[in-house]
Amino acid sequence: MPALNVQKSPLPLNGHRSVFGRLLDLLPSWKPTSEDKLEQAESNVLKHLQSDYQDSFVPISSDAVIRTLTLTSKSSREVPLVMIHGFGAGLLQFYKNLDHLHSERSIHALDLPGFGRSTRKPFPLHPDNAEQEFVDYLEIWRKAMRLEKFVLLGHSFGAYIACAYTLRYPERVRHLILVDPWGFAQPPNEQELNDKFKQSSWFWRAVGKLKPFTVVRTVGPWGPTIIKRMRADLVNTFSEEFLDYVYHCNAQKPTGEMAYNAMQYYFAWSQRPMLSRVASSLCLSVPLTVVCGRSSWLGRLEDKTPEKIAQARHDSYVAVHYVEGAGHHVHADKPAEFNQIVSATLKLVDTDQDIATDSNPSNK
């Protein structure tokens, strides 16, 4: 197990405070969180890693950094893998996958701006502008990391951002891996929404109408208990330490959550559906793999999205994988199966077998 030496951010997590704000910081907080407690919660999850890693806080502006975890491979020949987490968490949602995947290449996992331990920089609250800002920050991060080309993997909301980045910078993405992607399907009309959610629990109906973690922040000291009760399923999927990490990630200033809320239509859908944009604008030279849990709630709402992505890109390489017994967090529900799929995909990349030709067409 590597020695834990978690670095501190050179900038305040929640941005620079006014004099009045700094005075308020001296008072007891209603919310049982702080930047130090998030750092400790992250350290508790990092104990699960067996590999050595490097911390960094990559500047993306004069007042913002992107938290990055790098696991370096001994070989420099393979294309590196960049991993983007989903909504409501941070880079450590992949802690069950990092050890296995980095045995073959270098990995860079990052906290999106506004999430995890990246700076909680404000976003424009228009869906087009918020999306564009995520893409701009990722490109600044890429340049700072000196990555020329990489395999880009994103989960859920992270898959949406990864796809948005690839639409604009296809020359940088050697292969795009979408894990249970959010925001691709066309949103339903009001009647369809009622039909889809009338059998749903009160929690999911409420989440569709609120900023998802507003309640967690509002109830102050009861926030950690609310998280554990709302997402008790994640204890078995991840760990107790991970739920604590999720709480502290989402009890901070919610700039990333506000950007997500501006970009969503109703929880599972986007204001700017990605499927039609993939069909019309995603460069055909970018190979694409979709990995989904067979039991994912998102799959039930966005019916057959992976197959529709494949149909939209029939002249390009596309592979679709379903993992039996896995839900939305397929990478944590069935880590061995997920790691095997991603490893096999990366081997195709290394040998250029994922490049569509007349003799090697799209793989569906």
Please write the tens of the pLDDT for every residue from 293-304: 999 988 887 778
Which pLDDT score, from 0 to 100, does residue 13 have? 83
Per-residue model confidence (pLDDT) at position 299: 86
- Strands, sheet with 150-155, edge to edge from the N-terminal-most edge strand: 54-61, 64-71, 107-110, 81-84, 150-155, 173-179, 288-293, 318-323
Cβ atoms 280, 127 nearer than 8 A:
no
280: domain CATH number is 3.40.50.1820
Q: Containing domain of residue 49, as a range?
A: 31-350
Convert the pLDDT of each residue in 11-34 to its tens digit.
Answer: 878 776 554 444 445 445 667 888
Q: How far apart (Å, rounded) are the C-alpha atoms in residues 31 and 316?
A: 49
The CA distance from 235 to 35, in Å, is: 23
Residue 23 lies in a domain: no
Give the pTM: 0.91
Phi-psi region at 217: left, alpha or beta (left = phi > 0; alpha = psi -120 to 50) = alpha
Residue 109 parent element (H or E): strand 107-110
Q: Is residue 342 in some structural domain?
A: yes
| 228 within domain boundaries | yes
In this structure, is residue 336 part of a structural domain? yes
- Asked if 128 contacts 141 with a C-beta cutoff of 8 angstroms, the reply is no
Measured between alpha carbons, how far is 4 from 48 in angstroms, rounded to an integer?
A: 11
pLDDT of residue 3: 47
What per-residue confidence (pLDDT) applies to 356?
67
How many Å apart are CA 55 and CA 219, to the nearest integer?
Answer: 32
Q: Which two tokens stand for residue 281?
A: 């604008």
Is residue 229 in some structural domain?
A: yes
Return the pLDDT at 342: 97
Low-confidence ranges of the chain (pLDDT < 70): 1-6, 16-30, 75-76, 194, 196-212, 356-364
pLDDT at position 245 is 95
- How many domains does the structure of the chain reveal? 1
Q: Do the domain assignments include residue 362?
A: no
Q: Helices marked H in 171-239 — which ranges?
A: 190-197, 202-207, 214-218, 223-230, 233-237
Compute the distance between CA of residue 290 and CA of residue 318 in angstroms, rounded to an integer.
Answer: 8
| pLDDT tens per residue across span 181-213 | 999 998 887 777 767 665 555 555 555 555 668
Residue 278 tokens, joined: 């993939």
